[in-house]
Each structure stands twice: as structure tokens, then as C-alpha cells.
Amino acid sequence: MSTTILQASTSKTRPHEQPPSPSTVRTSACPIHAIGSFRGGVGVFVYGAVCYLAFFVTFLYAIGFVGNWFVPKSIDSGTPGDTLISLVINAALLSLFVVQHTIMARPAFKRWWTRIIPGAIERSTYVLAASASLALMMWLWRPLPEVVWSVTSPALWWAITALAALGFAIVLYASFLINHFDLFGLRQVWLRLCGRGYTPVGFRLTSVYKLVRHPLMVGFLIGFWATPTMTIGHLFFAIMVTGYIFFGTWMEERDLVAEHGESYLRYRRQVRGFIPIPKRGSGGSRGA
């Protein structure tokens, strides 16, 4: 969930590759590059706004999908089929989501990709691709409704549901701490519309980022696992996405260490990745 949503979103310190300034955007026969020359950036901004809207609608639906809240098709709805076939299909859908997130988030891919598309829409295009892969997963997801656990106490049911909602609220809150609109591409296209070059948002150690390095992912983990009724399908989803979160943040931190060096290593020694428990001293380089 995109990560970025699931990976798209994982760290406050991710360096953004600086898109070309308006005066240096090269022309191309590529129709996507033609967007950048439409009315001095209006086309770029409209494209970015549409991508952001696609993300926001998909993100809200995904919350309902995972929580079985208010949406016509959720993680446990629909007619169940053969268990093995359903697992294979669901694994393929999640793998597509993971591959898209992992490849398009890598700096080497971004350098190649921005030779084809304008740099100002690189992030928006990533967000659009992530939203599309997430929407496809939800559309084709096969339910596995066998119950692993189920809470019968109304008070406990509401408490767990509130905890899940809190997890998704943490995701949104953490995204605004690191500049929500930069994370999802709107700031880049706005700057292009204004004729201004892109400037990275920079490193800001604030609020929940002083407790854990990946509060966005902590929020997702809470939202995925806090459910009053856990089915086989939901459990499979939670396990697969949890594995990807740990893999994705490991990949991302390699990029961050390469970019920021000792400053990020020092932050990593001081703050745990996922568990908000202070470290003793400065020993260790990873932390849970």
C-alpha cells in the first residue's frame, strides 16, 4: 500500500534526484516529454494532480479493503475458490506490486527513466504505477475466508478496530512530517508550473522520526495486523507485505547510507527501525 504507497513511502531522508530546471528540460519526440512543454508546465501539473488523485482514492479504498470497511470488495469478500490456486494468484499480484515498487524506487532506474520522461513527473509516474498495481491486486484478489482468529467481545472488537485505524492515521501523519506533497509528486509538478527548479526537502529529525526510523511502515504494520477477524487470506497478505516492508527498508537504507554516509549511520545507531525503544549508547548499526 504504497509503500508507497508501501516503499514509496518509507523514509524521511530519501534523497530526491533533482529534475531538470525548466530552462534545461530537453525536447524530445517522445509524447510524454511533450507534456512538459504544454503551456509552460500546466500539462505537467495536471498530470501530477491526476496521479495524486489516483493515489488518494486508491489509498482510501485500500484501507477499506484490508479492514473490511465500507467497500464493495474487500480482502475477505467474494466467492472463495481452490485454496492453492488462490494463493498462487494472490502471491503473483503481490509480487507484481513488490517488483514495481522495488525497481522504480532505485536511483539507477530513476537516472535512466528521467532520460525518457521529464524529471518533474518522475515521482508522479511512480505514484501512478504504484496505484495501478495496488488497484489491480485488490480487483483480482482471491478471498480465503477460513478464520484464524475472531474476537467476539464487542469492546475488544472496537479496540482492535480503533488500533488499525490508528495505524493508518500514523501513515498519513508521518507522510506530512516529511512533506506529503513531495512524497507523492505534487510539489515537483507545482514547482515546474511556477518555473522553479526542484530543491530536496532535506533531512528533518522530528516527532515520531525520533522514535523509529520508519514510522510510515510501523503504521502500515499496525493497520495490516490489527484485525478482530483474521482469515487465511488476510494472514497471507499480512505476512507477504511484512516481508516486503523489511526487505524494502533494507534496500532503501543502503541507498541512504550511500548518499548520506556517516550522518545516516549515526541516526541508525541512535534510533531503531521499527520498535520505539531507545537504544543504549551508540553501539550497533541496525536495530529492530
pLDDT tens digits, 127-142 = 999 999 999 999 999 9
- pLDDT score, position 37: 52
Q: Collapse the DSSP code of 143 into the 3-class scheme (helix H, G, I; strand E, B; otherwise coil) and give the result.
A: coil
| Rounded Cα distance, 94 and 201, in Å | 31
- Which one has a higher pLDDT value, 34 or 96? 96
Counted residue by residue, the chain has a size of: 288
**Which ranges in 116-202 belong to alpha helices (H)?**
122-140, 154-177, 180-183, 186-193
pLDDT over threshold 70, residue 210: yes
170 contact partners, CB below 8 Å, separation of at least 6: 208, 215, 216, 218, 219, 222
Per-residue pLDDT band at 257 (split at 50, 70, 90): confident
- pLDDT score, position 251: 87
- Which one has a higher pLDDT value, 7 or 63? 63
Q: What is the pTM of this model?
A: 0.81
Amino acid symbol at 155:
A
Residue 257, Cβ density class (10 Å: 0-12 exposed, 13-18 middle, ≥19 buried): middle
- pLDDT score, position 125: 96
